[in-house]
Amino acid sequence: MDGNGRWANAKGLKRTKGHEKGAEVIREITTYCAGHPTIESATFYAFSTENWKRPKMEVEFLMKMLDRHLKNELSTYQENGIRFLAVGDLEAFSKSLQERIRETEALTKDNRKLTQILALNYGGRAEIAKAVNKLIAEGRQEVSQHDISQALQTPYADIDLLIRTSGEQRLSNFLLWQLSYSELAFTQTLWPDFTPKELKEIIYDYQHRTRRFGGVV
């Protein structure tokens, strides 16, 4: 979800206003996905392990906004049958924010229309390393690709479609294992301007691609 800051700067607003608008778009896109007949999960890269490098005031704002967002969105989750999950190193967050995250997960665990995953203090390389260390701790002498997939934090080992907004064309340490054979879509649209209509168009394009997974069709 790239482009919150640039969206705000272009409008002469503080960067925080871009993040607030971006949070609203998360709600719109998540609700759309919950009503879609074939989408099972949607993962949003909300805060990376590298985002701590941002100005301290901006990071503090993002932490407070996340807490407020989860509190306010609980009704949206329940009304639309959305299960909430968080992946990443959550121990870096305050105890109160960790409690908010776990509470929201617990309260929505039985919802089945969609799983919304927020990647928080997440890095793809760190996730893979953690999975391997978990397997080593279990005493494994040799591991398979399947073993690593099962040890990852994310509940879905393979991702069908990656969408990145704002014109940037890189993965930025996001779901590196899971994106091995994913289809990629890049749009010039800044995240605060991203709409369900554009998502629908991207999904339509995806549905008309031929996925070979290294083979011949």
Residues that are catalytic:
2, 51
Report the interhelical angle of 95-107 vs 56-80 (nearest 10°). Answer: 20
**Is residue 118 helix, strand or coil?**
strand
Phi and psi based region of residue 14 (left: phi greater than 0; alpha: psi -120 to 50; beta: remaining): beta
Q: Is 145 exposed, middle or buried (0-12, 13-18, 19+ CB in 10 A)?
A: exposed
Rounded Cα gap, residues 96 and 206, in angstroms: 40
Spell out the alpha helix ranges (H) of 12-107.
15-35, 56-80, 95-107
| Angle between helical axes of 15-35 and 196-207 (0-180°, round to 10) | 50
Q: Give me the phi and psi of 50, to 5 degrees please.
A: -90, -15
CA angle centred on 1, ends 165 and 18, rounded to 5°: 105
Q: Is the dihedral of CA 42, 209, 157, 81 positive or negative?
A: positive
For 27: left if phi > 0, alpha if psi spans -120 to 50, otherwise beta; the answer is: alpha
